[in-house]
A and B are shown apart, each in its own frame.
Chain A
């Protein structure tokens, strides 16, 4: 089975711009979660989608949003970029039905640099 894929892998944007990141989960996985990883804050949960619905949300401003499509692929959008948004954005997918535990499978991440 193919793993979780994220595109693009690297991105450079300017302050004030907006950006869209994409994530394709493992085939059969319907839950997709997003995380922001920075040296200072570590791994922070952004949100989780299941069957096109946001099921959990972390403590991030409204500039961070996401969505999930009927094929379980997910996108996250960050508007009005700030320098502090520079980070590695990780996507993870999970098998929920029939799973004995909720383990997540991560993609390689998108490295976003805001200048």
Chain B
């Protein structure tokens, strides 16, 4: 079945550091890929998405590129802020199936 594997957290970075959170997936066909973010005490918010190979999703300085050859969708940001502290979830949805498979989440803590 479909699955998503994320790097274990927590990830602790200093403000303005470069962020990478690794995500790889297993799915049949060509899924859509997503990154969601969950701030403390809140539900999940869609951060960015990519629907086909080589697409780059971007939002709020975060980027992720759909790499079919490596089945990856790594999240990056050039300069993190304290306000980016949250839990980040990688997810996929197989084409034609109205179901989302989530990774286990990676907690990011940014310190001043």
Q: Chain A interface (Cβ within 8 Å of chain B)?
A: 4, 31, 33, 42-43, 45, 48, 50, 55-56, 90, 92, 94, 96, 100-109
Which B-chain residue is minimally distant from A111 (CB atoms)? B41
Given contacts A42-B104, A42-B105, A43-B105, whether A102 and B89 have CB atoms under 8 Å apart is no
Interface string of B21-40 (1 = CB under 8 A from A): 00000000000101010000
In the complex the two chains form, what is the Cα distance from A106 to B43 in whole Å?
Answer: 6
In the complex the two chains form, what is the Cα distance from A45 to B91 in whole Å?
Answer: 12
Given contacts A42-B105, A90-B44, whether A96 and B98 have CB atoms under 8 Å apart is yes
Given contacts A101-B51, A103-B34, A106-B45, whether A43 and B89 have CB atoms under 8 Å apart is yes
Q: Chain B interface (Cβ within 8 Å of chain A)?
A: 32, 34, 36, 42-46, 49, 51, 89, 93, 97-100, 102, 104-105
In the complex the two chains form, what is the Cα distance from A90 to B44 in whole Å?
Answer: 9
In the complex the two chains form, what is the Cα distance from A42 to B100 in whole Å?
Answer: 14
How many A-B residue contacts, CB cutoff 8 Å? 58
Give the shortest distance, in Å, between B74 (CB) and chain A (any CB).
19
Per a CB cutoff under 8 Å, which of A56, A101, A102, A109 touches B43?
A109
Give the shortest distance, in Å, between B32 (CB) and chain A (any CB).
4
Q: Would you call B98 and A31 a contact (CB within 8 A)?
A: yes
Which A-chain residue is minimally distant from B102 (CB atoms)? A43
Q: Would you call A102 and B93 a contact (CB within 8 A)?
A: yes
In the complex the two chains form, what is the Cα distance from A42 to B93 in whole Å?
Answer: 18
Given contacts A101-B49, A101-B93, whether A55 and B43 have CB atoms under 8 Å apart is no
Give the shortest distance, in Å, between A30 (CB) and chain B (any CB).
10
Which B-chain residue is minimally distant from A9 (CB atoms)? B41
In the complex the two chains form, what is the Cα distance from A109 to B37 in whole Å?
Answer: 14
Which B-chain residue is minimally distant from A4 (CB atoms)? B43
Q: Given contacts A42-B105, A109-B43, list 4 more A-B pairs with CB under 8 A.
A: A90-B43, A92-B44, A101-B93, A109-B42
In the complex the two chains form, what is the Cα distance from A17 to B82 in whole Å?
Answer: 41
Q: Would you call A101 and B32 a contact (CB within 8 A)?
A: yes
Give the shortest distance, in Å, between B57 (CB) and chain A (any CB).
10
